[in-house]
Structure 1
Amino acid sequence: MPAPKNTFKQALKEGHAQIGCWVGLADAYAAEVMSTCGFDWLVIDGEHAPNDLRSLRDQLQVVSPSDSHPVVRLPIGETWMVKQVLDAGAQTVLIPMIDTAEQAAEMVRACRYPPEGVRGVGSSLARASKFGEIADYLHSANDEICLLVQVESVEAMDNLDDILAVDNVDGVFIGPADLAASMGHLGNANHADVVATIEDAVTRITKAGRAAGILITDLNAAKRYLDLGATFVATGIDVTLLANAGRKLASDSKALMV
């Protein structure tokens, strides 16, 4: 029995657009709620949300059986972190702050078993292999791991073509907020220069035959990037959805007393 089919990776390879949402509440119950909403993919965020390996695992356990594919974003591109989340059951990882082809290649190696990579061979202990029940896991896992690298700096944009030339990088995700800051426009991802840079990057990524992704909560902008060829687009964040809905309800409710 081989490793489970990564339907998200297959969809990207076939050019089928996938709509996603960020999951940052760092709680399995909240992640389970989000998994019922109809998104194609959900990012379980380990960079800016207060997650650790156990909470990432707990969220993988509830999202994986749903129709929403779980993507784990790590805090940073460290081989030991990749090893742990893959063994915990993640099949798709998003690595932030990739600035060079060398960094991208290091993450490729971290995701793959030898001789193609350096992933530790301990699958019998791992949730990923159903604790050894998937007999052919070691020989099939490489094909089903999806590696997404996040480019979000001027340096990354300068090196984008080299990053795109790295084999087995399945998708390149653009981080608008950090890119804007790197370009000198902190807090203004809608600056014309930032938008132009993002549009150029999406075009370059798709022309190279790789999947392009972005998080953008403006649906008009999301449509523009989809039309440019982006194939994995996140349009919301659970934390802000809850906060904005709660603030509006509180404001509207207090207005009843006027």
Structure 2
Amino acid sequence: MPVPINTFKKSLSAGDTVFGCWVGLASPFSAELMGTAGFDWLVIDGEHGPNDLRSILAQLQVLEASDSHPVVRVPVGETYLIKQMLDAGAQTLLVPMVESAAQARQLVRDVTYPPHGDRGVGYALSRSARFSQISDYGTTADAQICLLVQVENLKGLAALDEILEIDGIDGVFIGPADLAADMGHMGNAQHPDVQAAIMDALRRIKAAGKAPGILSTNDPMTLDALDAGAQFVAVGADVLLLSHSAQALAKKWQSTK
């Protein structure tokens, strides 16, 4: 029996546009709630959310009943972390701060079984293989793993064309906040220079046959990114949705005092 089809990867390969949302509250309950909202995909954030292996595992478990595909963002592109997330059942990984072709090549090896990669072969014990029930896991898993890398600073942008030449990279996500900071515009991803760099990168990614990705909570920027070819587009974050709604509600009624 082969592994389940990665529907997110299939959509990107078909050139489809999919809309997602960040999940950073590090709670299975809130992740389950977000899974009912109707997004195509959700990012379980292990970089800036207070997550660890066990909390990410729990969120993968509750999202299994959802139509929203879970994307796990690891805190850093370390081989051992990637191995753990894949064995926990993640089929799609988002890796931050990729700055070179050499780093990207190693990430491809990290998500690939030998003889072409370095992923440890322990799937008989793993949730990813349904605890040895998926008998063909070892021979079919590689084709269903989706690797997304984040290019989010000037060093990464300088290496973008080389990164795009690497087989095994399914998509490249441009990180607006870090890129803005590295360009000297901390907190201002809307600066014209930052926007020009973002849109140029998205067009280059699309032209290279990879899927471009972005996070944007600014509708004009989101539309510009879509025009530039963005395919996997995050349009919000659970933390911001809760925080902004709570603040607005409190302000509404505090103003009546």
Q: What is the TM-score when the length of structure 1 is the normalising length?
A: 0.99
The CA deviation string for residues 92-145 of structure 1, in whole angstroms up to 9 with x for no partner, is 000000000000011000001001100000001100000000010000000000
2:239 counterpart of 1:235: no
Question: What residue is the counterpart of 2:225 in the other structure?
Answer: 225
- SS in structure 2 opposite 1:2? coil
Q: What amino acid sits opposite 2:68 in the alignment?
A: S
> For residue 203 of structure 2, what is the aligned residue in structure 1?
203
What secondary structure sits across from 2:72 in the alignment?
A: strand
**Alignment correspondent of 2:96:** 96
CA distance in 2, matches of 1:63, 1:26: 13
**Alignment deviations for residues 72-104 of structure 1 (CA, whole Å, 9 cap, x no partner):** 000010000000000000000000000000000
How far is the alpha carbon of 1:65 from its aligned partner?
2.3
The AA in structure 2 aligned to 1:119 is R
> Deviation per CA, 1:215-244, whole angstroms, max 9, x where unpaired?
000122112111211100000010011000
Equivalent runs, 1:1-258 vs 2, <5 Å: 1-257=1-257
Q: How many Å separate the matches in 1 of 2:153 and 2:232?
A: 20
Residues in 1 aligned to 2:117 and 2:18: alpha-carbon distance in whole angstroms: 28
Q: Which amino acid aligns with 1:154?
A: L
Aligned length: 257
Q: Secondary structure at the match of 1:77?
A: coil
Counterparts of 2:81 and 2:208 in 1: how far apart (Å)? Answer: 28
For structure 2, list consecutive stretches of 5 or more residues without a partner in the other structure. Answer: none
2:115, 2:172 → 1: CA distance?
Answer: 25
Q: Runs in 1 of length 4+ with deviation above 2 angstroms? A: none
Matches of 1:251 and 1:59 in 2, distance apart?
32
Task: Find the residue that maps to 1:213 and give its secondary structure.
Answer: strand
Q: Give distance in 2, aligned partners of 1:18 and 1:180.
A: 24
Question: Take 1:123 and 1:36, find their aligned partners in 2: how far apart are those partners?
Answer: 30
CA distance in 1, matches of 2:2, 2:219: 38
SS in 1 for 2:107: helix
Q: State the 1:168 CA deviation.
A: 0.6
SS in 1 for 2:19: strand
Counterpart CA distance in 2 for 1:40 and 1:80 is 28
Residue 187 of structure 1, CA deviation: 1.2
State the alpha-carbon separation in 2 of the partners of residues 166 and 182 from structure 1. 25
Q: Which amino acid aligns with 2:83?
A: K
